[in-house]
Structure formats: C-alpha cells, structure tokens
Amino acid sequence: MLRYSLKRFIQMAVVLVIYATLVWFIFYAMPGDVTMKFIGNPKIKPEAIQKMRVQFGLDKPVYIQYALFMKSLFTGNLGISFNHYPRTVWSIIAERWPRTVTLFLTAIVLYYAVGFYLGKVIAWRRGGVADYTATVGGIMLWTVFTPWWCLLLIWFFAFKLDWFPLGQFVTPKVWMLAPVGSNFVFTRMLATGLFGPLAILVGWWGLRKVVHDSRTRKWLNWGVTAGILAISLLVWANSGLGKYALDILWHMGVPLIALLTIGFAGSMLLMRDSMLETINEDYILTARAKGLPERVIRDHHAARTALLPVATSFVLAIAFALNGAVIIESVFSWPGIGRTLVNAVATQDYPLAVGAYTFLGLFALIAHFAADILYAVLDPRISYKRGEGA
C-alpha cells in the first residue's frame, strides 16, 4: 500500500513539473510579454518599460527565465499582483481559497449523496418511468448552460420567492460589527466540515476493532455520529460565531441549489451504470441464494462494489469543480478563486491570473492523486501488489 502511494506520488511530481513547464511556456514564452500593455501608454516612458523588463527578468535568456520561474513557483513565490499592489498573489489566493472550497466541497458531497442514492435505486429497479425521467431530466440539467440556469434559479429563488439573497457571500449589515474576518469563519467551517466526518470515521473504525458484536456496534456507530454532530453544533453556538456561519450558509443557498441540480446526474448515471454491471456478477447471485433480503443485497453487496468508480469520480469531481468555480462564482459574485481568476484576466492582472490558474492546476493534481489512493483503499485487490496466496 505504501509502495503504491509512493509510486503514484512520484508520478504526480513528474506531472507537476511538466504542468508547470507548460504553464510557463504558454504564459511567459509567448511572443510579447507583460510589458507589452504599457507600450502604448504615453504616461510611461520607454526607459521605465526597459527597467520593468529588467525587473521581471525579461532581458535574460529564455532558459534562465524558465529556471527562475520554476524556482519561484516551487518556493511559493507567485509574484505581486498588479491590481492589488502591494499584496502578493499568494496572500490573495490564501485569502480566497477557503470560500471556493467550502462552497464546492459542500455541493459535491450533497450531489454525490443524492446521485449515489438515486443511481442505486434506479439501477436496482431496472427500467420503468422513474429510470427514464431521472435519466432524461438529469442529463438535461447536466448539459444545461450553467449561467443561464443560475440566472433562472436566482430569479426564482432569490427574487420570486425571496428565500435567499441575490448574490455575494455575506450580508454587510450582519458583518459590520463582526469581531473576525470572513476568512476566519470560513476556515472554521471548513475545519468542521472536514474533521467532523473524519472524527466519525475514526470512531467507527475504532469501534470495529473493539466491539465484535455487529448489532451493538451499529447502535454505537449511530451514537458516535450523533455525538460528534452535537458537539460540533454546541461549539459553534458557544463561540458566538454561529450567526456569521449561518449568514454564509444562507448565501450559499442558491449556488448550492444550482450545483446540486446540475451535478447530481453525473454521479447518478455513473452509479447506475456501475450497479448494472455489478448486478450481473456471480456473487450477487450467491447473495440471493443465501436468502438475504433484497435491500441487503442491493446496498451491502451491489452498491458497495459499484461504489468504487463513483468514489474515485467524487475526488475527480473536486478537480473539475474548479472549472465550475470559474463559472458559478462569476454568476453569483462569490469571491473565491474562480472569480479571482476571471477578474484578474479581465483587468489584465497577469501575475494574479497565472497564480490563480496554477493554484487550480495544483489542486486538480492533488485531487487526482487522492483519487488513486482512495481507489486503492477501497478495492483490496489493487493495493495488494503480490500475487494470489498459496
């Protein structure tokens, strides 16, 4: 298992280098450089432009530029933003990424849960009206033009029904007297969102080792889950930051609805296809022969194996959420990395644009790596590198 992880890690590192090289090539090695946009500007003298070129190292030979780029990239120096001078690109990204991650992680978890459940049920029923409507409806939503659909949802939920706010991620009135910045709340929310389930999983794993009787263990599992949820809620309520978190959640409403409707079809269809393949396996027949009830066969045997491709696609979905981030954040004015990228490009803030894009790529890479590891964990056949036992 460890050997496999290491192998994949090295492969990823190689890909990262190639990726960074390509990024550099496309953005920096093109004819014309950063200073081009200042040439027509009468307020900036040619000597100043030349000085700029020296500062940016653009007068040095190409391969030195490349080396410098790679060095600064790997030391985390992404430059200084033009528009937000003198803030560094890194500080801007660090400020904004929790917002993106919170929104999209929540969305992905939600629509995967929905898709998983629907796909499982539909595949088991095999055909019928439910299958047809869910499939057609789901795909139509999947291919819908995102901004258009989001506009529709905004109009409906935020305007017509007035349930949710019209955009942004915070209500200025609520936050005016806040003791902490929004980022603080975001990171805490993320922490809860990540460590809460992690704690629950650890609890389950621990119980599995200690308590051997599966029936009592099931009750204890639920107890652990409820307990950790209760603790999280209590901590939030007590910290006084509760209402800020709620405000953020309120603003996440329509974007989440948008992401949920668009995204569920993908995992649903994947789960359905995966289930349909699994259903034909012999061990499903054996399970039936054992006299197990239908639901147990469906959930415990079929779904568990069918889950494998879905689980990996989940992690990959995180990578592709970055695509979605650019679009969704623009429509909803949600100031995360996606919107940062779009704004940076629109205002020609070159370092910020490249920095944001590199960050997205890195994120995608890590997600891919995590997906591979996850698949190996879930499927005991893969991590077991040796051949079959005697």
Partner 1 sequence: MWKVRVKLTAKSLRANWGMFAHSKLGPIGLFLIVFFLLFGLVHPLYLVYRGSDKIYDPVVGFAYDLLPEGNPHPPTLSHPLGTDILGRDILGQLMHSTAKAFMLGLIAAGFGVLISTLVGSIAAYFGGFIDSVFMRLADVVMLFPLIAFLVALSAAIEITLFKLAIILAILMGFGGTTIILKSQALTVKVKPFIEAARVSGGGHFRIILSHIIPNVLPLSFLYMMFGVTTAIFSEAILSYLGFLNVRMSLGIMIYTANDSGYLIGSRLGTYWYLWLPPGLIISLLCAGFYFVGRGLDEVVNPRLRER
Partner 2 sequence: MALLEVSNLTMHYTTRVGDVMAVDSVDFTLERGRALGLVGESGCGKTSIAMTILKLLPENARILGGQIRFDGVDLVPLSEDQMRKYRWDHISMVFQAAMNSLNPVYTVGDQILEAIQHHMPMKERVARKRIAELFNLVGLDPAVMDQYPHEYSGGMKQRAVIAMALSCDPSIIIADEPTTALDVIVQDRILKQIDKIREELNMGMIYISHDIAVIAEVSDRIGVMYAGKMVEFADTHTIFKSPVHPYTYALMSTFPSVKGDKRELVELPGEPPNLIEPPLGCRFHPRCPRATAVCQEQEPVFTEVTNEHFCACWNQRS
Write out the binding residues for partner 2, residues 276-315 only, by CB under 8 A: 281-283, 285-293, 300-301, 304-305
61 binds, among partner 1, partner 2, none (CB under 5 to 8 A by kind): none
Q: Give the per-residue contact string, 7-26, with partner 1 (x = CB under 8 A; - = no).
A: --------x--xx--x---x
Q: CB neighbours of 73 closer than 8 A, spacing ≥ 6?
A: 20, 358
- The site partner of 327 among partner 2, partner 1, none (C-beta below 5 to 8 Å per kind) is partner 1
Q: Whole-number minimum distance, CB 24 to partner 1, in Å?
A: 11
Please state the separation of Cα 328 from the chain's center in Å: 13
Instruction: Tell me which of partner 2, partner 1, none is bound by residue 295, counting a contact when its beta carbon lies within the kind-specific cut-off of 5 to 8 angstroms.
Output: none
- CB nearer partner 1, residue 95 or residue 277: 277
Of 200 and 370, which has the nearer Cβ to partner 1? 370
The verdict on 172 binding partner 1 (CB under 8 A) reads: no
Q: Which stretch binds partner 1 (CB under 8 A): 55-63, 146-154, 180-188, 250-258?
A: 146-154
Q: Which of residues 24-43 bind partner 1 (CB under 8 A)?
A: 26-27, 30
Using the rule CB under 8 A, give the single segment among 52-60, 171-179, 281-289, 334-342 that binds partner 1.
334-342
- Closer Cβ to partner 1, 93 or 344, answer by number: 344
Euclidean distance between the first and final Cα of the chain, in Å? 20
- CA distances to 24, 37, 40, 147 from 347, rounded to whole Å, are 20, 11, 16, 21
Closest CA to 327 of 253, 245, 249, 262: 262
By a kind-dependent CB cut-off of 5 to 8 A, residue 26 interacts, out of partner 1, partner 2, none, with: partner 1
Q: In this structure, how many other beta carbons lie within 10 angstroms of the beta carbon of residue 165? A: 19
| Contact region with partner 1 (CB under 8 A), list: 181-189, 210-218, 347-355, 374-382 | 347-355
Q: How far is the CB of 107 from partner 1 (least distance, A)?
A: 16
For the stretch 274-297, what's the b/e string if a residue is b when 16 or more beta carbons lie within 10 angstroms of its beta carbon?
bbbebbeeeebeebeeeeeeeeeb
Interatomic CA distance for residues 271 and 177, integer angstroms: 47
Q: Which of 233, 235, 311, 254 is CA-nearest to residue 103?
A: 254
- Cβ–Cβ < 8 Å for 89, 78: yes
Written as six digits, the tokens of 8 are: 């994949």
Strand partners, 80: 88
Examine residue 86 and say whether the peptide bond preceding it is cis (omega within 30 degrees of 0). Answer: yes
Residue 66 as a binder of partner 1 (CB under 8 A): the answer is no
Amino acid at 226: A
Please classify residue 89 by burial: count the beta carbons closer than 10 Å to its beta carbon, then call 0-12 exposed, 13-18 middle and 19+ buried. Answer: buried
**Residues 50-89 close enough to bind partner 2 by CB under 8 A:** none
Given the rule CB under 8 A, which residues bind partner 2?
126, 212-214, 281-283, 285-293, 300-301, 304-305, 378-381, 384, 388-390
Given the rule CB under 8 A, which residues bind partner 1?
15, 18-19, 22, 26-27, 30, 127, 132, 135-136, 139-140, 142-149, 151-152, 154-155, 159-160, 166, 273, 276-277, 319-320, 322-323, 325-327, 330, 338, 341-342, 344-346, 348, 350, 353-354, 356-357, 360-361, 364-365, 368
